[in-house]
Chains A and B, each alone.
Chain A
Amino acid sequence: MIEAVPPTVEIQVHAGCRYTSLLQTGVDIMTTVPCSIGDFLDRLPGFSKDYIINRVQTIFLNSTAVDDMETPLSGTAPVVALSAAMPGLAGAIFRRNSMHAALRSAKIPDFAAPSTQSRIIGVRLKLFNMVAAEKGEALFAAGVHCTGAGLLDFIAGHPAFLTSISRALFSGQELADSDLIKRLRTTDTIQLTIKMRGAILPAKTTTKEAHHE
C-alpha cells in the first residue's frame, strides 16, 4: 500500500554507479487506469513506441506472459515485468508473440475486466536485464515509489552503491549515509529519485567503506 504522501529520498551518485538492478525487485509507478499495458509503457520516462516494440520482447502481467499490448492493467495492484529477448527455449516460450508460446502452460490468463472508472493506482514495475540497464536511469531520475526496506536490501547486496552516493536528501534534508540508513529502516514507502553526477569523483573515505562492508 502506498502512503498518500510518502517522504522523498533524493540520491545523487557518481558516474558509473550501478543501481538499475534495483529494478529487478520492482518499484511502484503511479498511473491512471483504465489503461492498457501498451499505454502504460508508453508513458514511462525514456520509453518510446519503437523501444517497446523492438527491445521489450517479454512482458509479464501478474506473472503471466502477455502478447497483446492492448491487454488492460488488471487488479488493484498490477505487477508488470519487462525484459529484452531472452535465451534458451524458456526465453523463447515467454517472448511476445513467440511461435513457441505453444509450450506455455495452456492456462488462459484470467485478467479481470477493469473498472471504467478513472482512478490512480500503483503499478509494481520490474525491469530486467538490458531494459533495466537502458531505461533505469531515466526512470529513477523521474522518481519512483519503493519501500525503505527494499532500498536497504539492495544496499546490503551492493555495498558499492552506498560508497557512490555523493549527496542524499530525505524529505529535503541532507543526510549522511549512516543517517539515511537509519531513516530508511523506519520508513515504509518512499518516493525515490536517483540521479547521476556527470563526473567521476574520488573514492569515499575508508571509514565509510568499512562501515558498509
Chain B
Amino acid sequence: MSDKIFRVNMTTLTTCVEEVPANWAGHGGRGLTSTIVTAEVPPTCHPLGPNNKLIIAPGLLSGTPAANSGRLSFGGKSPLTGTIKESNAGGTAAQLMARCGCKALILEGRPAGNTWYSLAVSPKGVTINVETELIGKGNFEVVSTVTGRIAKKHALISIGQTGEMRMAAANISVKDSEGHLRSAGRGGLGAVMGSKRVKFITIDPQDGKVAIADPEKFKAANKIFTKALTSHPISQGLGQYGTNVLVNIINEAGGLPTKNFTAGQFAGHDKISGETMYDRIMERGGKPKHGCHPGCVIQCSQIYNDLKGQYKTSGFEYESIWAMGADCCVDNLDHIAEADSLMDDLGLDSIETSVAMGVAMEGGLLEFGDGEGILRILKEEVAKGTGLGRIIGGGAGLVGKTFGVARVPVVKNQAIPAYDPRAIKGIGITYATSTMGADHTMGYAIATNILKVGGSVDPLAKEGQVELSRNLQIATAAIDSTGMCLFIAFAALDDATCLPALIDLINARFGINLTGDDVVNLGKYILKTERAFNEAAGFTRTDDRLPEFFEYEPLAPHNMVWDFTGEEIDSFWDF
C-alpha cells in the first residue's frame, strides 16, 4: 500500500485522498508536520481560526515491527505559544494510521454552527460523522463509549472538555493498547482540534499493512536495534521506576524546581520519588512496567493504583509528578495521581496546568502544598469552564498576568518543565532556543560523537553548551521524524550499533540509502523550517530568552543564576 495524504476540510465537510507531494515523501512525524504547517498554514493566522490546520502524522517507521516506533506526531500553530508546534504521543494510533496508508491526516477549515463531529479513518479515506452523545464528556467516557460502539480493533484519538472549550493547555489523547490514555501534551493542540469541532477520530486499518522494501535487511537491523535497547542499563531502571526515577537525582543536583521555581530542592522529594512510587505500586497490585505502545521494549510506563487497589493512572511521568509535586509543594503521591487522572480525563497538559497552579499559588489562590485544593479547582473550576478554570487552563503565562505574579516560568508562553535552567544551564539553552517554547524534549537525543554533529565541546565554556544544545536539538528533530520514542537515545548514546541499525531500518523500509549525514541534514532542515515559520509569525531573537527572574534570583543550594547573554544565546542559530 502506497502512502497518501488524507485531507479533511471542516468548512465544507468534505474529505479527499491525495498523492504525497515529492518534497514531502522523505518526511514523517515531526519533519512532516512541520513541513506541512510551513507550506499550508499562514504564519500570522489565529491558531483557533479557520486558516490554522491540525496535522497528524505517523513516523517513518510507524506500522512496522521496529521496536519503539509507535509515536504519533501532531502539528499546527500553537494557541499557547503562537509558534509552530509538534507534540507526540504513544498509543496505538500511529501504527494503525500507517497501516491505513495515511502518511498524514490534515484537518483544515472550521465548520459553521455548533455541530460537533467525529472522523473515521480507514484505508479508503476519512468519513465525517455528526457526534452528539460524547460532547461535553471527558476522555475516559469517550474511550469507553467508542470502544463499545466499535467491536473490532481500532485506534482512538480524542479531546476532553478543555479541548472543546479551546483552552490553551488542552492536549490530544491517544488510546493505548489497554484502553488507557497517552497524551500529546504540549502547546494546546487539543484546542486546535476543538476549534475544528472534531471530538474524536477512530482509525480502522482493516487489512492494511505497511510495505517493507527489504524485509530481511529490516529484520536483521531490528534485531540489532532491539538488542541495543533492551541490554542498556537505563532500560532496566526505567522498567522498574519509570521516568520518575529522576526526582531524587535532579533534587540531589539542586535542579528540581520547587515552590514555583524559588528553590532547587524539595524537602518532600522522597514522598514523590520513583523509588517510593515503585514500592507503592507493588504494595497495591499495580504494574511497575508497562509499554505505552505495542512494540515498546523499554516499558517505562506503569499502572498506579489507589489505596483500594483500583486503577488510578498510568504513564505517571517524572515531569507531571514534579510539576504537581515539587513545584506546587504537594508531597502526597495519591493527590498527584488523582490530579494526573483528572487532567487526563479533561485533556490537559499536566506540565502546563501544574506549573500554572504553582504560579496561582504564588498569587495567593491556594497555599503551596494544598493538594486537595488543586483537585477541587480541577473538578469544580476547570472541568466546568468557570472563569477561574479557563484562566488555569490557559496556562502559566495567563495565570501570571491574571494574578499579578512576576515569577512566571515560561518561554514563548510555554511553561518550563522539570529542570531548573540555573542549575542545568545547558538545558536552559534548549528552553530558550526551542522553536516551540520551553520543552525539555527538544534537545534530548543522541551523542554528538556518533552523529558527528559539530566539533569538540569545551565543557567549561558557554560556547560549548550552546553547541551541544544545538547538536542535541538537531538530532532530536531527526529522531522525532521516525516515530521512535526519544528514549532510544539512551542506547544510541552508548552503543555504537544502535544508530546505524536505526538508519538501516529506515533504508530497509523504503529501499533507500540514507547515511548519518543525511540524518543530520534532516534535523537541520526541520529546525530551520520551524524557525522560518516563527519568524514569519513575528517572532524574533528576543523571544529566545528565559524569564528575567532567572537572572536576578539565585537558586539554592548552588546559588546560581542564569547568566547567558543574548548574543551567546543567538549564536545557537549559527549553522
Contact B558 A63 (CB under 8 A): yes
Chain A CB count within 10 A is highest, among B422, B424, B426, for: B426
CA–CA, A157 and B276, complex, Å: 8
In the complex, whether A83 has a CB less than 8 A from a CB of chain B is: yes
In angstroms, Cα B243 to Cα A59, docked, is 19
- Does the CB pair B236–A100 fall under 8 Å? no
Is A85 in contact with B237, judged by CB distance below 8 angstroms? Answer: yes
A129 touches B274 (CB 8 A): yes
Q: Tell me, rounded to whole Å, the shortest Cβ–Cβ distance linking A196 to chain B.
A: 16
A128-B459 in contact (CB<8A): no
B237 close to A65 (CB less than 8 A): no
Structural contact, B274 and A103, CB atoms closer than 8 A: no
Cβ contact within 8 Å between B465 and A102 = yes
Binds A, one of B45-53, B376-384, B442-450, B510-518: B442-450
| A87 beta carbon closer than 8 Å to chain B | yes
- Tell me if A55 counts as interface (CB < 8 A to partner B): yes
Interface string of A88-103 (1 = CB under 8 A from B): 1111111000011111
Residues in chain A near residue B249, CB distance under 8 A: 58, 83, 86, 90-91, 94, 128
Which of A4-12, A104-112, A137-145, A171-179 lines the interface with chain B?
A104-112
Q: Does A84 contact B (CB under 8 A)?
A: yes
Q: Are B275 and A24 in contact (CB under 8 A)?
A: yes
Known: A102-B468, A103-B425, A104-B424. A86 touches B461 (CB 8 A): no
CA distance A108 to B459 in the complex (A): 11
Contact with B along A51-70 (1 / 0, CB 8 A): 00001011010011100000
Main secondary structure of the interface of B (DSSP, over half): helix
Tell me which of B170-178, B219-227, B252-260, B389-397 binds A.
Answer: B252-260
Given known contacts A90-B424, A93-B424, A106 and B250 CB-to-CB distance under 8 angstroms: no
Q: Contact between A90 and B425 (Cβ–Cβ < 8 Å)? A: no
Residues of A within 8 A of B427 (CB): 89-90, 93, 103
**Bound Cα distance from A193 to B269, whole angstroms:** 24
Q: Which residues of A contact B271 (CB under 8 A)?
A: 157
CB-CB nearest in chain A for B426: A103
Knowing A93-B424, A128-B275, say if A86 contacts B468 (CB, 8 Å).
no
Query: Which B residues from 390 to 441 make CB contacts under 8 A with A?
Result: 419, 422-427, 429, 440
Which residues of B are found within 8 Å of A101, using beta-carbon distances? 459
A121 within 8 A of B: no
Please indicate the chain B residues that have their CB under 8 angstroms from the CB of A93 in the complex. 424, 426-427
B425-A105 in contact (CB<8A)? yes
- Does residue A160 face the partner (Cβ distance < 8 Å to B)? yes
A103 CB contact (under 8 Å) in B241, B458, B468, B558: B468
Which partner residue on chain B sits nearest A60 by CB separation? B252
Contacting A at CB under 8 A, from B286-303, are 300
Interfacial chain A residues near B448, Cβ < 8 Å: 99
Q: Which residue of B lies closest to A55 (CB)?
A: B233
A residues contacting B by CB (< 8 A) are 18, 21, 24-25, 55, 57-58, 60, 63-65, 81, 83-94, 99-108, 126, 128-130, 132-133, 157-158, 160
For this complex, 13 residue pairs linking A to B, each with C-beta atoms less than 8 Å apart, are: A24-B276, A63-B254, A88-B318, A89-B443, A92-B493, A93-B426, A101-B459, A104-B459, A106-B461, A107-B560, A128-B249, A129-B240, A158-B283
Question: What 7 pairs across the A-B complex have the smallest Cβ distances?
Answer: A103-B426, A102-B459, A21-B275, A128-B248, A102-B464, A81-B252, A85-B233
